[in-house]
Structure 1
């Protein structure tokens, strides 16, 4: 399923959301300018490598400082491929603007960054021995999706679903689309624990941690105004009935 757009209009220009997308793109362009050996080193220095903190002997051998906790933050601005970057930024573009509307620009920025850190901590807890750098904004974006899931459950997500190579478009309620996405992350994350492996290299538990954080803690950052103050009555009648 590929989300194309949502139907909730935004009230203000999502400056922070655009800035986050811009920063991620600039960092990725810097990544692709590096030769493979330097890029690999870059990922190990600024990506989240859990074994860096749980196996100090290995970290010392790999040239990583155990007392440097910045990777819990910096990893959310790195991406491993063009597809990784584009899929993450597209998802952030779709869901981030409405969440920024509800939280306000500055509070949205803090919320996004804390969602990413919460995702990093969750990944660390469930993958403590991993020597593979975890990179990507998907944990922070999952936090945005978790907030959207609670705040806009009756929104519709225009979704592309190819059936026998025929592209078909469906309006799927946000609570269904995001609920199914979260369920798939839990199933996949649980499988990696049971099988003690992660063949896909996807940080499932980072997604889970970010989403749960967003669901619960977005309330702290919300504006005081009500939906009736935020959207015209005709919009409310159409999207929130």
Structure 2
């Protein structure tokens, strides 16, 4: 179950979402010259990636921010940027450009700290924007629970309400965190879960300013504008 787009057009150009995507892609490309040098990579990750044990020892707090812009491979980067592109524009539309940037960085830092607390003795570098993007997804769940999201399910594209896709995703992260083995590499499940919860909670003041339950009643959980419509191209046989 992989999301490919939503039916929730933004009311204004999401400059900050595009800027964050450009920053992540640009930093990834800047790392390519050292990608084959293990010693240089190890030093780079020590300087900029999140190292839980180092943070617990009172050092390396800046990595709660810098690690959000690093990625461990092309697929890691592509997956994160796809999720940011799908969900970021609508949250930015409601928050405004500068508040959205602050929200993104704060949820990313909180997600990183959740990972530190869950795996406090690990010295394995942790990188990626997925904790911050999980926060964006949490806010999206609160603001647009019934927006339609197209998912790729095996070989079919199926539209489903955002709340189903997002809650299934969150459940997968939570279950993965319970079953994960401490101090091993892989997915930082608790960073994802922590970021999602942080984003949901930090979006509550915005939701209340929009009317809270009255906002839901007015929109029935749908976007407050006509949904985007997509269709498959028609092809004539000859």
Give your verdict on TM over 0.5: yes
**Unmatched 5+ residue regions in structure 1?**
57-65
SS at the partner of 1:79?
coil
Distance 2:190 2:21 in 1: 23
Change (3 A) 1:138 1:112: same
Distance 1:107 1:237 in 2: 22
Note the aligned Cα RMSD (angstroms). 2.3
| Shift of residue 41, structure 1, vs aligned partner | 1.4
Aligned equivalent of 1:15: 15
* TM-score (norm: length of structure 1): 0.84
Aligned equivalent of 1:60: none
Change (3 A) 1:238 1:26: closer
Question: 1:201-212, aligned counterparts within 5 Å?
Answer: 201-212=186-197
Distance 2:223 2:72 in 1: 40
SS at the partner of 1:157?
strand
Spell out structure 1 runs of 4+ moving beyond 6 A.
Answer: none
Change (3 A) 1:131 1:203: same
| Shift of residue 42, structure 1, vs aligned partner | 0.6
**Unmatched 5+ residue regions in structure 2?**
228-238
Do the aligned residues in 2 keep the contact of 1:154 with 1:173 (CA within 8 Å)? yes
The one of 198, 209, 214 equivalent to 2:199 is: 214
Distance 1:69 1:188 in 2: 26
Query: How many residues matched?
Result: 219
Aligned equivalent of 2:124: 132
| Shift of residue 2, structure 1, vs aligned partner | 1.6
The one of 42, 45, 50 equivalent to 2:44 is: 42
Do the aligned residues in 2 keep the contact of 1:49 with 1:132 (CA within 8 Å)? yes
Q: Does 1:106 align with 2:98?
A: yes
| Shift of residue 36, structure 1, vs aligned partner | 3.1
Do the aligned residues in 2 keep the contact of 1:103 with 1:223 (CA within 8 Å)? no
Distance 2:54 2:153 in 1: 40
